[in-house]
């Protein structure tokens, strides 16, 4: 595969290294943010929380050419039931790496400790409805999930924007593989997630997927039929999506 290709509608960009991938993705996302801010007053962005995003978030957070005070930030998933200060909470992960580093207009956290989870889904849905997503910065899981839409719960025509899901074992094992938890038993079994349609509503999608553990998922994303068994295949239908992979994650192409 060339360093730049298109699979269906999805642009694919291959970097030599993980750090080059993060740098390139951050540069492209920053450029799109600045372009949008020249055309509209506010920009709404959804971010993913995972070690795969580290280099990208680090680079983006250093960009002082962006008018951060005109950006509303969202994130795409959160565990149910993890205590507020748990470092594994995705809101905390993003707070350390981005949300707490730059002066966003607003940061909108999903609350996995809400007393009524259905009400929390409704609250976050209303926020997404009133702040239509301009950009989503996302990853792909080892089981090809996007956000926490694992194959058994992914619905390309989901009527909801936010829902509670149970996590499959491959997804939970990835959290251990990533070093976020020590054992499988520590990984929560339920999470709040933005659904596939919620992510696909973004005008622009930037998908950042480095590393050898993602090689099979990237192979399935680009070379399988578009189907819920491999939720990330839906990206091939997005009119303005780009997939950033590196030498390692592209290893099975």
pLDDT digits (tens, 9 = 90+) for 145-188: 999 999 999 999 999 999 999 999 999 999 999 999 999 999 99
pLDDT digits (tens, 9 = 90+) for 115-133: 999 999 999 999 999 999 9
Q: Which of 211, 146, 190, 141 is nearest to 170 (CA)?
A: 141
In the chain, how long is the greatest CA-to-CA distance? Answer: 50
Q: What is the C-alpha to C-alpha distance for residues 19 and 54, in angstroms, rounded to an integer?
A: 9
| CB hemisphere CA count around 49 (13 angstroms) | 27
3 state DSSP class of 58: helix
pTM, rounded to two decimals: 0.97
Domains of the chain, CATH where assigned: 8-209+224-246 (3.40.50.1360)
Q: Which of 66, 45, 53, 1 is nearest to 25 (CA)?
A: 53
10-residue block means of pLDDT along the chain (253 residues)? 92 98 98 98 98 98 98 98 95 98 98 97 98 98 97 98 97 94 96 98 98 98 98 98 98 97
């Amino acid at each position: 595969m060339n360093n730049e290709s298109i699979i269906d509608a999805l642009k694919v960009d291959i970097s030599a290294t993980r750090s080059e991938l993060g740098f390139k993705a951050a540069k492209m996302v920053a450029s799109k943010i600045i372009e949008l801010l020249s055309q509209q007053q506010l920009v709404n962005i959804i971010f993913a929380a995972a070690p795969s995003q580290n280099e990208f978030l680090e680079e983006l957070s250093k960009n002082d050419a962006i008018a951060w005070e005109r950006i509303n930030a969202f994130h795409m998933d959160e565990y149910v039931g993890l205590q507020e200060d748990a470092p594994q909470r995705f809101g905390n992960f993003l707070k350390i790496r981005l949300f707490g580093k730059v002066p966003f207009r607003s940061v909108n956290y999903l609350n996995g400790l809400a007393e009524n989870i259905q009400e929390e889904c409704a609250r976050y849905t209303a926020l997404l409805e009133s702040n239509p997503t301009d950009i989503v910065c996302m990853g792909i899981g080892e089981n090809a999930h996007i956000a926490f839409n694992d194959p058994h719960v992914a619905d390309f025509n989901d009527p909801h924007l936010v829902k509670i899901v149970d996590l499959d074992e491959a997804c939970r094992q990835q959290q251990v593989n990533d070093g976020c938890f020590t054992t499988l038993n520590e990984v929560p079994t339920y999470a709040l997630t933005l659904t596939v349609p919620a992510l696909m509503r973004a005008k622009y999608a930037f998908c950042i997927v480095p590393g050898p553990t993602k090689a099979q998922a990237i192979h399935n994303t680009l070379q399988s039929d578009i189907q819920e068994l491999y939720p990330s295949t839906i990206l091939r239908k997005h009119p303005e999506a780009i997939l950033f992979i590196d030498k390692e994650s592209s290893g099975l192409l």
